Amino acid sequence: MSDKIKVVNLVGEVVLSTIPDHRVRIEEAFKERSTVLASLSQVEDIDLFGVQLLYAARRYAKRTNKEFYLTGEVPELVARRLHETGFVDTVIRDGRALDRSLHEFGSVPQEDSNDA
């Protein structure tokens, strides 16, 4: 793996109460590398705040000329939750496919200053 890439394994719940910890880990990864991959394979649950964290990380990456991608196998519960809440059109279990399919994920606005 390239020395320019850092993988952040999101573990457990990615929900309101855990966002600060996940956010710090993503921020630290961006300090170390120009490309950050967020693995969803160990995520047990995600809520709207968790999804917002992923979008914020993507905005931050775009604004700072870095890259942020999702990777790993997406657990069934997480995949279903993203589909049921309208973030994707189908249940997607592959992180790279999810990265390409999340609505507006590839074209998030860059002007927001409250990011990752």
Where do the domains of the chain lie, and which CATH numbers do they carry?
A: 5-107 (3.30.750.24)
Give the pLDDT of residue 89. Answer: 96
With 90 as the cut, is the pLDDT of residue 109 above it? no
Assess contact for 23 and 31: CB atoms under 8 A. Answer: no
- Per-residue pLDDT reduced to its tens digit, 47-90: 999 999 999 999 999 999 999 999 999 999 999 999 999 999 99
The pTM of this model reads 0.88
In DSSP terms, which residues pair with 55 in a beta bridge?
A: none
Assess contact for 57 and 25: CB atoms under 8 A. Answer: no
β-strand 67-71 against 35-46: which pairing, if any? parallel
Assess contact for 68 and 36: CB atoms under 8 A. Answer: yes
Q: Residue 104: which pLDDT band, with cuts at 50, 70 and 90?
A: confident
Assess contact for 35 and 64: CB atoms under 8 A. Answer: no
**Residue that wins the pLDDT comparison between 109 and 98:** 98
Residues 65, 47: Cα–Cα separation, whole Å: 28
- Average model confidence (pLDDT) for the chain? 92
Contacts of 92 (CB under 8 A, 6+ apart): 74, 79, 82, 83, 98, 101
Write down the residue that tokens 């997406």 correspond to. Answer: 74
